[in-house]
């Protein structure tokens, strides 16, 4: 009997939610082994697993997994507190002893102290070694602060000839004395060497790098620039983002950080390139770019949303239960509603 991807997908959707992590892994490995050549890719697509996970599961099946009550291999998870702090049991025993009851040789100890009080007492453990380290760090911090104060005075004296330019720079939202001083120090205060603001942004390393071949331009990753000026301008931009619409730049930041179509927004997204088009799903906005047009569609209900994931992007999400799907849909739709709300507020302010 021929095994089809649709049949495998239905089988995984029905069985995987009932298994634990190890059982799901072994089932995927056994199915990939039974399919033979190309089985890893088919199982990865239909079960919603990565090829790496299916390959590891196949190796585990070939080795012949021994019956075990464990779901993960020994050593997985966080290390125990005792392995990180060997004296923990001694300190805990010292705290419990005054209020303990029962046979001291019995592994079961009764105490009148609550676990929350014991945890708080252990968290506040501070001995002489801790005091010495804290005293040493405070001394070094004091020396650093004194050196920084002295250096600030030297920088202020050196920037005195450009005091007017520094004051003008501070009229830009997000630019304070430190940012303005770094800007003058790195550029020299002479803007004639930059034909446009775009040239200055490129020199600072804040414009995306582009490469051109045969008359066609394509992005080339991050542009190299003045790292000192880049760091300060990024810090200034971050402070503008925390102004919450108090000026034009803050309003632009809010729009770019909330619009589902913006590439800067962290949303549940999917991307697929076909021979005829490029399909992108961001939040509930679906766009398909062809050579001569762009089709945009708003997925207004969960049925259309999950159908697009399964049909267009081959993401059926078989391991998602009904509650998981409902939670995902509520999240992406709330992001879209938040964007619409902010857009209405901006339109109201403009009117």
Task: Kindly state whether residues 222 and 274 are assigned to the same domain.
Answer: no
According to the model, what pLDDT value does residue 240 have? Answer: 83
Per residue in 19-75, pLDDT (tens digit) is 888 888 888 888 888 888 888 888 888 888 888 888 888 888 888 766 666 666 665
Lowest-confidence segment of 96-105, 113-122, 243-252, 303-312 by average pLDDT = 96-105
Spell out where the chain has E strands. 100-101, 110-111, 210-213, 216-219, 269-273, 278-282, 285-289, 294-298
According to the model, what pLDDT value does residue 105 have? Answer: 47
According to the model, what pLDDT value does residue 81 have? Answer: 67
CA-nearest of 41, 39, 32, 35 to 60 is 32
Q: In this model, does residue 337 exceed pLDDT 80?
A: yes
Task: Kindly state whether residues 266 and 318 are assigned to the same domain.
Answer: yes
Domain membership of residue 71 (yes or no) is no
Domain membership of residue 119 (yes or no) is no
Name the residue range of residue 9's domain: 5-63
Domain membership of residue 214 (yes or no) is yes
Task: Kindly state whether residues 270 and 320 are assigned to the same domain.
Answer: yes
Domain membership of residue 81 (yes or no) is no
Q: In this model, does residue 124 exceed pLDDT 70?
A: no
Dihedral (CA of 185, 186, 192, 195) sign:
negative
Q: Higher-confidence residue: 259 or 303?
A: 303
* Segment 308-314 mean pLDDT: 87
Per residue in 243-291, pLDDT (tens digit) is 876 788 877 777 676 665 565 556 667 888 888 888 988 888 888 998 8
CA atoms of 90 and 71, how far apart (whole Å): 32
Task: Kindly state whether residues 273 and 248 are assigned to the same domain.
Answer: no
Cβ atoms within 10 Å of 154's Cβ, excluding its own = 9
Q: In this model, does residue 238 exceed pLDDT 70?
A: yes
Domain membership of residue 316 (yes or no) is yes
* Domain final residue, candidates 16, 42, 63: 63
CATH number at residue 287: 3.30.2140.10
Three-state DSSP at 230 gives helix
CA atoms of 169 and 184, how far apart (whole Å): 9
Three-state DSSP at 79 gives coil
Percent of the chain with pLDDT over 70: 76
Q: Domain total for the chain?
A: 3
CA atoms of 299 and 304, how far apart (whole Å): 6
């Amino acid at each position: 009997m021929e095994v089809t991807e649709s049949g495998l997908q239905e089988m995984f959707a029905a069985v995987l939610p009932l298994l634990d992590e190890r059982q799901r892994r072994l089932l995927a490995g056994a199915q990939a082994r039974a399919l033979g050549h190309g089985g890893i890719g088919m199982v990865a697509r239909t079960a919603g697993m990565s090829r790496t996970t299916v390959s590891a599961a196949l190796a585990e099946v070939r080795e012949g997994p021994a019956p075990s009550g464990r779901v993960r291999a020994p050593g997985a998870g966080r290390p125990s507190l005792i392995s990180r702090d060997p004296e923990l049991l001694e300190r805990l025993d010292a705290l419990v002893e005054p209020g303990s009851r029962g046979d001291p040789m019995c592994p079961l100890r009764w105490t009148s102290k609550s676990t929350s009080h014991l945890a708080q007492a252990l968290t506040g453990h501070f001995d002489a070694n801790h005091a010495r380290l804290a005293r040493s760090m405070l001394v070094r911090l004091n020396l650093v602060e004194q050196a920084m104060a002295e250096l600030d005075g030297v920088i202020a004296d050196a920037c005195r000839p450009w005091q007017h330019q520094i004051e003008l720079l501070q009229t830009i939202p997000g630019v304070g004395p430190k940012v303005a001083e770094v800007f003058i120090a790195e550029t020299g205060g002479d803007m004639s060497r930059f034909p446009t603001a775009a040239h200055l942004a490129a020199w600072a390393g804040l414009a995306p790098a582009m490469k051109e071949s045969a008359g066609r331009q394509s992005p080339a990753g991050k542009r190299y620039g003045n790292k000192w000026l880049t760091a300060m301008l990024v810090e200034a931009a971050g402070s503008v983002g925390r102004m919450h619409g108090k000026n034009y730049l803050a309003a632009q930041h809010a729009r770019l950080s909330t619009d589902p179509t913006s590439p800067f927004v962290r949303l549940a997204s999917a991307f697929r390139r076909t021979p005829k088009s490029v399909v992108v799903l961001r939040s509930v906005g679906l766009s398909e770019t062809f050579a001569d047009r762009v089709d945009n569609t708003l997925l207004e209900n969960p049925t259309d949303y999950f159908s697009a994931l399964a049909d267009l992007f081959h993401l059926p999400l078989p391991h998602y239960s009904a509650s998981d799907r409902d939670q995902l849909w509520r999240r992406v739709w709330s992001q879209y509603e938040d964007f619409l709300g902010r857009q209405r507020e901006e339109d109201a302010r403009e009117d």
